[in-house]
Amino acid sequence: KGLSQEGWPEVWSQPDMKSSYDVVIIGGGLHGLATAYYLAKNHGITNIAVIDKGYIGGGGSGRNTSILRSNYLTPDGVKFYDRSLKLYEELSGELNFNLMFAQMGHLSLAHDDGGMRTMRWRAEVNKVQGVNSEVIDADAVKELVPYIDTSKSTRYPVLGALYHPPGGTIRHDAVVWGYARAAHEMGVHIIQHTEVTGIDVEGGKVTGVKTSQGNIATETALNATAGWSSLISDMAGIRMPVTTSPLQAAVTEPVKPFLGTVVVSGTLHVYVSQTDRGELVFGASVDPFTSYSMRGTLEFVEGLATNVLSLMPSLSKMRLLRHWGGLCDMTPDYSPIMGETEVDGFYVDVGWGTYGFKAGPVAGEAMAENIATQKRPEIIKGFGLDRFSSGRLVGEKGAAAVGH
């Protein structure tokens, strides 16, 4: 309160927290806000609080490299992320908010025979699910991205790539704001700067959520946090097979548009795209240790520069403007944990590793259906916490943008 620009209308209000809600969503990032939006829009449930200990979109939703794609490895993964991409395609119109979706195409480079085999495998799984992906050779890569060094003399020569035309980037903050505004208009309370400190469970059921602003009575709580997902789940007595590691990214000064495709190299642990403003956005693999730190490190910048320059040597004069870190909750199979838990009324949408941003819309849609109908929808059937006891893992490590 009091921080709004003079004369500008408030896009969502900052309401006083009520003492009870039908649904409390913990985490005001993309997933939490999207779930609130679809609960209200698709199921008519509007007595909802979305609670965040910071500001909305201040976690992973505002700290990613905004890449969208659906070229995964397992049929479960491909169907799921494809639904997300389809929702993203319509989202600017639906939310009446320009999300600047640039469907510029996405290239995953292969630098050895093993890499080419994985790309062929992914292309075939993608095609069976109706997703547009194909393997192309090094000459075709060069045609799409002339600045890539495709000579044979490099340490990791480019042999080819998985080309996925529907992939691209979208303005991540705008997606958060668009969902927040639409959810707010339907009556959802967005409660910022309020920390969840406990979850009340009686007789195996959720009865309330404790916060730094007081207690809320509710029978339904969703953990939609990243970074703190295991700590929040612990509050309800649910252990998560999750470890948390930082993921860093960086952005350069703006230059003329020259890169019309997202380029990823798992071997070099790097991904690059160019924003509408001309900046290059770089990412890498998660830091090789667990931590809750969101600070950038010098080691990261050094490694990143080395790898970017082996891919595109002509970028050597570019200056980095800033770099940052976010938190990734990694699961053993690199797929999320979604759905109900052993505690009645306690739902989770966590464990997103490095895939969370691209899944926001479908995760919100599916979790809203899960909560409203109390049945886990088909599209997330395979992602339940129960898979770690049944052994039916959904291995998506092979679809990671970079090695982890």
User: Site residues (CB under 6 A) for ligand PYC?
Assistant: 65, 67, 69, 271, 283, 354-355, 401
**Residue (50 or 337) nearer to ligand PYC, CB:** 337
Instruction: Find how far residue 77's CA is from the centre of its chain.
Output: 14
**Residue (41 or 397) nearer to ligand PYC, CB:** 397
**Residue (46 or 103) nearer to ligand PYC, CB:** 103
**Residue (186 or 301) nearer to ligand PYC, CB:** 301
- Nearest approach, Cβ of residue 16 and ligand PYC (Å): 37
Helix (H, G, I), strand (E, B) or coil at 398: helix
Q: Which residues are registered as beta bridge partners of 168?
A: 68
**Residue (81 or 177) nearer to ligand PYC, CB:** 81
d(CA 331, CA 242): 5
**Residue (329 or 340) nearer to ligand PYC, CB:** 329
- Nearest approach, Cβ of residue 277 and ligand PYC (Å): 19
- Nearest approach, Cβ of residue 302 and ligand PYC (Å): 20
As given in the structure block, the two tokens for residue 156 are 């990791």
d(CA 102, CA 66): 10
- Nearest approach, Cβ of residue 377 and ligand PYC (Å): 23
**Spatial contact of 167 and 133, defined as CB atoms under 8 Å apart:** no
- Nearest approach, Cβ of residue 49 and ligand PYC (Å): 30
- Nearest approach, Cβ of residue 78 and ligand PYC (Å): 13
**Spatial contact of 404 and 286, defined as CB atoms under 8 Å apart:** yes
d(CA 75, CA 78): 5
**Residue (245 or 354) nearer to ligand PYC, CB:** 354
- Nearest approach, Cβ of residue 266 and ligand PYC (Å): 10
What radius of gyration do the chain's Cα atoms show? Answer: 21
d(CA 321, CA 280): 10
Contacts of 209 (CB under 8 A, 6+ apart): 24, 26, 51, 196, 198, 199, 200, 215, 216, 218, 221
Given the DSSP bridges, would you call strands 23-26 and 134-137 parallel, antiparallel or unpaired?
unpaired
